[in-house]
Amino acid sequence: MIRLLLKAILHATLKILFIIVVSITGLLYFFGETTIGLQTLIQIITPFIPGKLHIEHAKGKLFSHFSLDTISYQHTTSNVVIEKFQLDWHPWLLLQHRLQIENADIAHAKIDLSTTAKQTHATTFSLEKLALLEFITAKHITIQDVSISRDTKSLIQFQTINVEKNTPDSTVFSIQMLGGELNGHLNLRWTPSLTWAVILSGNHFNPGIQWREWPGEMHFSFNSHGQLSRLPSATFELQQLTGTLRHYPIHGEMRLQMQNNQLSIQKAFINIADASGAITGNMTDQWNLQWNLAIPRLSTVLPNSTGSIHSNGKISGPKTTPAIHATIQAEQLTYAEQKIRQLVGNIDLTMKLNTPSSLNITAEDITFHQHTLKKIDFTITGKTNLNNNNLLSRFEIAIAKKPYLHLTLSLPKTINTKNYLTEPIFALAQINFPDFSTLKDYLPDIENPQGTLQGALRLNGNLTHPTINGEVKLSNGNFRIPKLGIQIQNANLRLLGDQTRHMTYTGSFHLGEGSAVLDGSTNLAQPNFPTEIRLHGNNLTMVDLPEYKIFCVT
Q: Which residues of 141-168 are buried (b: 16+ CB within 10 A; e: fewer)?
A: bebbebeebeeeeeeeebeebebebeee
Distance linking the first and last C-alpha atoms of the chain: 113
- In this prediction, residues 37-55 reach a mean pLDDT of 83
Alpha helices (runs of H) in 307-404, residue ranges in sequence order = none
Give per-residue pLDDT as tens, 76-122.
878 889 999 998 988 876 666 677 888 999 999 998 887 655 444 44
Asked if 161 and 181 touch (Cβ cutoff 8 Å), the reply is no
What's the one-letter identity of residue 88? D
In degrees, rounded to 5, the angle at the alpha carbon of residue 402 between the alpha carbons of residues 397 and 403 is: 35
User: Which of 481, 477, 395, 394 shows the shortest CA–CA distance to 434?
Assistant: 477
Residue 526, pLDDT score:
80
CA–CA gap between residue 308 and residue 344 (Å, rounded): 12
- Stronger pLDDT, 9 or 69, i.e. the higher one: 69
294, burial (CB in 10 Å: exposed 0-12, middle 13-18, buried 19+): middle
Residues 6 or more apart whose Cβ sits within 8 Å of residue 155: 113, 148, 149
CA–CA gap between residue 109 and residue 148 (Å, rounded): 9
> Is the C-alpha dihedral spanning 16, 19, 21, 23 positive or negative?
negative
Give per-residue pLDDT as tens, 160-194.
999 998 777 888 999 999 999 999 999 988 777 78
Residue 268, pLDDT score:
94
Give per-residue pLDDT as tens, 477-522.
898 888 888 888 899 999 998 877 788 999 998 888 888 898 999 8
Asked if 217 and 206 touch (Cβ cutoff 8 Å), the reply is yes
Residue 121, pLDDT score:
44
Does residue 535 sit in helix, strand or coil?
strand
Instruction: Classify residue 354 as left (phi > 0), alpha (psi -120 to 50) or beta.
Output: left
| Domain range summary for the chain, segments of one domain joined by + | 415-554
Please count the other Cβ atoms lying within 10 Å of the Cβ belonging to residue 135: 15
Give per-residue pLDDT as tens, 109-151.
998 887 655 444 444 445 555 556 667 778 898 999 989 888 7
Per-residue H/E/C for 18-62: HHHHHHHHHHHHHHHHCHHHHHHHHHHHHHHCCCEEEEEEEEECC
Give per-residue pLDDT as tens, 1-34.
555 555 555 555 555 555 555 555 656 666 677 8
Q: Which H helix or E strand runs over 232?
A: none
Lowest-confidence region among 201-205, 306-310, 428-432, 459-463: 459-463
Give per-residue pLDDT as tens, 370-417.
777 888 888 989 988 887 777 888 888 888 778 888 988 887 777 666
pLDDT for residue 197 is more than 50: yes
- In this prediction, residues 49-73 reach a mean pLDDT of 87
pLDDT for residue 291 is more than 90: yes
CA–chain centroid gap for 104, Å, is: 34
Asked if 290 and 280 touch (Cβ cutoff 8 Å), the reply is yes
Mean pLDDT of the chain: 84
Q: Which residues of 515-525 are buried (b: 16+ CB within 10 A; e: fewer)?
A: bbeeeebbebe
What is the Cα Rg of the chain in Å? 34
Asked if 451 and 475 touch (Cβ cutoff 8 Å), the reply is yes
- In this prediction, residues 49-69 reach a mean pLDDT of 87
> Residue 3 to residues 12, 16, 70, 499, 548: CA-CA distances in angstroms?
14, 20, 62, 91, 116
Q: What is the residue-wise DSSP string for 256-300?
A: EEEETTEEEEEEEEEEETTEEEEEEEEESSEEEEEEEEEES-GGG
